[in-house]
Amino acid sequence: MKYFVNVGNSLEIRCWKEESEEIQQALQYGNLTEANYEVSIKGIVTKEFLTELLSENPQDKSIYNKMTKYFTINVDSGQRRFCSAHYGTEIYVMGVSDDDITFFKNAMSTYTEDDFSIAIN
């Protein structure tokens, strides 16, 4: 994630409405808007958010093998868009270069298709 997410990028965190603890945490990074069954928090990636994202390993894996505490994280750098969906088990990266693809393939080489769903283009 560190390769594709940088301080200053635009950020959207999406949580289910009943995830009150996650919503309170996410509100440190942006402003709240509601959308049907989810809550959307929009802001800018900060150093604190990046640190949280890179260091946290959610303990709650009872329903889902969570890689992040947030249901969806969308990041837009203006050139590239990164999406971590379904608690980090689905990764989408759009607007990438050939170097980005090479980096990503190398970084993900230790994982199998059973670990993640990945789309990069």
Count of structural domains within the chain? 1
Is residue 112, in this structure, part of any structural domain at all? yes
Is residue 73, in this structure, part of any structural domain at all? yes
Residues 11-20 have a mean pLDDT of 94
Confidence class for position 63, pLDDT limits 50, 70, 90:
low
Is residue 4, in this structure, part of any structural domain at all? no
pLDDT given at position 43: 98
Q: Which two tokens stand for residue 7?
A: 């301080």
Beta bridge partners of 35: 38
Kindly report the average pLDDT of the chain as a whole number. 87
- Per residue in 28-67, is it b (16+ CB within 10 Å) or e — as a string? ebbeeeeeeeebbbbbebeeebbebbeeeeeeeeeeeebb
Is residue 2, in this structure, part of any structural domain at all? no
Is residue 5, in this structure, part of any structural domain at all? no
At 50 the three-state DSSP class reads helix
Confidence class for position 103, pLDDT limits 50, 70, 90:
confident
Contacts of 10 (CB under 8 A, 6+ apart): 42, 43, 44, 45, 75, 76, 77
Is residue 51, in this structure, part of any structural domain at all? yes
Using the predicted structure, report yes or no on whether residue 61 has a pLDDT greater than 70.
no
Is residue 1, in this structure, part of any structural domain at all? no
Is residue 20, in this structure, part of any structural domain at all? yes
Using the predicted structure, report yes or no on whether residue 117 has a pLDDT greater than 90.
no
pLDDT given at position 101: 84
Structural domain of residue 102, as residue ranges? 10-120
For residue 61, how many C-alpha atoms fall within 13 Å in the half-sphere facing its CB? Answer: 9
